[in-house]
Structure 1
């Protein structure tokens, strides 16, 4: 009986420390399309999420949150990742370059590709 309790406690400690490390990395590929701003419905963009992770990009280079004051906060490990459109939509009143999901994606994604000299920068490269 005592051996069972000790074993159960050891397993609880082991999993308590290792489970948070095994984070969900999200799907390998994502299909992105605006749904909130109905007037802006371009062809969906295919986003190779795993390819970006494998290239060494950290989560916080793309993902962020919103504080109680409504201002952008940096990504922290374990943070729940919301849909971009939950903040990036016309009703939110953000600056033009990130006002909608489309604006934010084009500013951040395309801007990063242009700055780094790698990755797609033309419409048909992402929008299939």
Structure 2
């Protein structure tokens, strides 16, 4: 019985870790950025575009990385916000 409970707990933990929140708020001095993760998942359909070969939180994600990855992608695809006030809301 203990093995069954442990297995169930492990499955629930793994399933929870694999599902990100629909919306993520990133705190910033010039206004927080609300990121619609679900919309990006539906549009891009490939996690590797942002996450590389790893799942979960993007390593070393900071202001510079966000501007390069996010803003760069928006500029390249000519879709999404590219100006400061379009992402940063006070």
* Fold match by TM threshold 0.5: yes
Distance 1:32 1:22 in 2: 21
Alignment root-mean-square deviation, CA? 2.6
Q: TM-score, normalised by structure 2?
A: 0.69
How do residues 23-62 of structure 1 correspond to structure 2 at under 5 angstroms? 24-33=18-27, 41-62=29-50
Give the distance between the partners of 1:111 and 1:82, measured in 2 at CA: 19
Structure number with the bigger relative contact order (C-alpha 8 A, sep ≥ 6) is: 2
Matching of residue 125 in structure 1 with residue 81 in structure 2: no
Q: Number of residues paired by the alignment?
A: 78
Which is greater in Rg? 1
Provide the TM-score with structure 1 as the length reference.
0.51
Find runs of 4+ consecutive structure 1 residues off by over 6 angstroms: 20-23
Gaps in structure 1 of 5+ consecutive residues:
1-15, 35-40, 65-74, 89-100
Unaligned runs of 5+ in 2: 1-10
* Structure with the bigger percentage of helix: 2
